[in-house]
């Protein structure tokens, strides 16, 4: 489902423009309310509005995007007076602010109310004599009218058999891109047919957000609060997730990125792969002592919060099977805080659901901010830092190849397997990985049914792993190549 990913579409340009402008506000604004009110007019020029049929709707959408990017919630659309764009902004103008749940929101004025699911005969129908579409339809929903196939939508059960057999590819399947991307069925409809997210089911992976061709789904950002914290003179230390390699352009090596982050004002930069190395050792030990011995049926990795939350929600009986190893983000944050007790920690990653993980009460004291690669790009742009012109003055040299591989699906499982082979030779290893929430759900059903005895299961919500996260900048195959290259060039292979 990685259709639009990595393509610089107008929707994506708009998202990035909003991040840049919000960062710009945080860096330069002296009159926050007025400057924020002016932004929709600055971003949507009267003469150049190309996204929607009118400039007013376009600005309305930008207003809601701006609120979310400032960490605030959408304004209620059904009230007579929804309040100003800046309503509640004072509460956001502090650096201790956490995300107000929910994290993912559909902006109703931007939603196209796409057809939910259905099959249509297009003009390509040749009215052929065989009409196999009619022969395979189990409900007799297809008839020939004036020499063309017609589907009776009342009878159609949306099985798709007609589409499969049409020799002219004349039948199209119309499905909401957001719900097609949601592997967990969290997208419902409101009374006007617009998408709404069921927050009881949603695990904030963000795949709907990056699949909506109208840019109608957005998540919240802490970029504004992070910059405020840096300006207040606090010592802010960044940790970058393993998927960062190559995300900022082909010439921006890990060492260059570290230098650029220091130029942006971060006190120091750590690799989250350090925490991944620790977790990998712990999960290897747990597998050998508990799962391989038969004390525990199976074990689940813990590093992907969307996967862990889904497992807890849908399969509560698996809670005790989820690894107790700290996630790489939390483990790295604890290392940083041990070395710098006075510092605030920001996790910079590919992932929307890490924002949710960081707002848990148990993690708040460890991780102060979470931003994505895409949001960080907005900070660099607002500051006018040209990454291609930076000379590397620092080295990224803390982690091993094992932890650095966590950014790609199967990387966690592989790292744990290598640790077991190295430190517990002779152990029989049974490791599997599932990517995409739909696949994760299937593997958990099998595990629940007793079909995965003795198995360590790695789950990744995003198809492709973290490199396919909602906050990434480059195409997934490109990112996989870059991560593999960095991993293979590591001095140390294992923790």
HEC readout, the chain: CCCCCCCCCHHHHHHHHHHHHHHHHHHHCCCHHHHHHHHHHHHCCCCCCCCCCCHHHHHHHHHHHHHHHCCCCCCCCCCCCCCCCCCCHHHHCCCCCCCCCCCEEECHHHCCCCCCEEEEECCCCCCCCCCHHHHHCCCCCEEEECCEEEECCCCCCCCCHHHHHCCCCCEEEEECHHHHHCCCCCEEECCCCCEEECCCCCCCCCHHHHHCCCCCEEECCCHHHHHHHHHCCCEEEEEECHHHCCCCCCCCCHHHHHHHHHHHCCCEEEECHHHHHHHHHHHHHHHHHHHCCCCCCEEECCCCHHHHHHHHHHCHHHHHHECCCCCHHHHHHHHHHHHCCCEEEEEEECCCHHHHHHCCHHHHCCCCEEEEHHHHHHHHHHHCCCHHHCCCCCCCCCCCHHHHHHHCCCHHHHHHHHHHHHHCCCCCCCEEEEECHHHHHHHHHHHHCCCCCCEEEEEECCCCCHHHCCCCCCCHHHHHHHHHHHHHCCCCCCC
- The pLDDT assigned to 136 comes to 97
CA atoms of 225 and 105, how far apart (whole Å): 20
Contact between 143 and 151 (Cβ < 8 Å): no
Per-residue tens of pLDDT for the chain, all 495 residues = 457 888 899 899 999 999 999 999 999 999 998 999 999 999 988 776 666 568 888 899 999 999 999 988 776 554 444 567 777 666 665 555 556 678 999 999 999 999 888 999 999 999 999 999 999 999 999 999 998 999 999 999 999 999 999 999 999 999 999 999 999 999 999 999 999 999 999 999 999 999 999 999 999 999 999 999 999 899 999 999 999 999 999 999 999 999 999 999 999 999 999 999 999 999 999 999 999 999 999 999 989 999 999 999 999 988 889 888 889 999 999 999 999 999 999 999 999 999 989 988 788 789 999 999 999 999 999 999 999 999 999 999 889 999 999 999 999 999 999 999 999 999 999 999 999 999 999 999 999 999 999 999 999 999 999 999 999 999 999 999 999 999 999 999 988
Per-residue model confidence (pLDDT) at position 90: 64
∠1-280-307 over CA atoms, to 5°? 35
| Residue 293 pLDDT | 92
Rama region for 12: left / alpha / beta (φ>0; ψ in -120 to 50; rest): alpha
Measure Cα distances from 185 to 42, 202, 438, 479, 482 in Å: 37, 8, 9, 28, 32
147 neighbors 127 (Cβ within 8 angstroms): yes
Q: What integer pLDDT is reported at residue 1 of this predicted model?
A: 45
Which pLDDT score is estimated for 52? 59
The Cα 137–Cα 133 span in angstroms is 6
CA distance to 227, 332, 372, per residue, from 236 (Å): 10, 14, 16
Q: What is the pLDDT of residue 362?
A: 80
Q: Let me know the angle formed at the C-alpha of 198 by 193 and 203, rounded to the nearest 5 degrees.
A: 135
Per the document, the length of the chain is 495
Structure tokens at 246: 């190559």
Is 49:58 a contact under the CB 8 Å cutoff? yes
Taking the CA atoms of the chain, what radius of gyration do you get in angstroms? Answer: 24
CB 276 within 8 A of CB 243: no
Residues in contact with 2: Cβ distance below 8 Å, sequence separation at least 6, in sequence order: 463, 464, 468, 475, 476
């Amino acid at each position: 489902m990685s259709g639009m990913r990595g393509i610089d579409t107008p929707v994506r340009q708009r998202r990035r423009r909003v991040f840049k402008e919000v960062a710009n506000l945080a860096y330069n604004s002296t009159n926050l309310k007025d400057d924020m009110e002016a932004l929709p007019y600055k971003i949507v020029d009267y003469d150049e509005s190309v996204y929607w049929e009118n400039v007013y709707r376009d600005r309305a959408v930008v207003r809601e995007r701006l609120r979310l990017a400032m960490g605030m919630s959408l304004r209620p659309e059904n009230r007579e007076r929804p309040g100003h764009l800046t309503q509640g902004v004072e509460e956001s103008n502090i650096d201790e602010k956490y995300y107000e749940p929910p994290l993912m929101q559909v902006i109703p004025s931007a939603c196209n109310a796409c057809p939910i699911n259905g099959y249509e005969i297009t003009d390509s129908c040749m009215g052929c004599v065989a009409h196999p579409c009619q022969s395979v339809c189990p409900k007799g929903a297809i008839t020939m009218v004036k020499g063309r196939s017609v589907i009776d939508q009342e009878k159609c059960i949306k099985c798709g058999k007609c589409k499969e057999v049409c020799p002219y590819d004349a039948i199209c399947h119309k499905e909401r891109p957001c719900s097609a991307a949601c592997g967990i069925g969290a997208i419902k409809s409101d009374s006007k047919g617009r998408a709404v997210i069921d927050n009881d089911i949603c695990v904030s992976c963000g795949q709907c957000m990056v699949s909506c061709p109208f840019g109608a789904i957005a998540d919240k950002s802490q970029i504004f609060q992070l910059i405020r914290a840096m300006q207040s003179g606090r010592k802010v230390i960044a940790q970058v997730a393993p998927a960062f390699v190559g995300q900022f352009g082909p010439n921006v090596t890990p060492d260059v990125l570290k230098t650029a982050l220091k130029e942006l004002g971060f006190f120091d930069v750590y690799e989250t792969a350090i925490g991944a190395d620790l977790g990998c050792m712990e999960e290897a030990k747990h597998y050998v002592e508990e799962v391989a011995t038969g004390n525990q049926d199976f074990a689940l990795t813990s590093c992907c919060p969307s996967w862990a939350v889904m497992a807890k929600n849908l399969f509560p009986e698996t809670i005790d099977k989820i690894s107790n190893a700290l996630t790489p983000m939390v483990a790295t944050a604890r290392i940083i805080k041990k070395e710098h007790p006075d510092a605030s920690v920001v996790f910079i990653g590919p992932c929307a659901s890490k924002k949710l993980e960081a707002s848990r009460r148990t993690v708040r004291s460890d991780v102060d901010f979470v931003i994505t690669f895409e949001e960080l790009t907005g900070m660099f742009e607002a500051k006018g830092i040209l990454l291609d012109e930076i000379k590397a003055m620092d080295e990224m040299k803390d982690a091993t190849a094992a932890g650095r591989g966590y950014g790609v699906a199967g990387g966690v499982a592989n790292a744990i397997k290598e640790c077991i082979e190295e430190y517990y030779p002779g152990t029989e290893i049974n490791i599997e990985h599932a990517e995409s929430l739909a696949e994760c759900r299937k593997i958990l059903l099998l595990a629940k049914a007793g079909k995965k005895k003795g198995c360590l299961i790695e789950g990744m919500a995003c198809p492709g792993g973290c490199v396919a996260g909602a906050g990434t900048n480059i195409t997934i195959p490109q990112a996989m190549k870059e991560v593999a290259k960095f991993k293979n060039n590591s001095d140390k292979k294992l923790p």
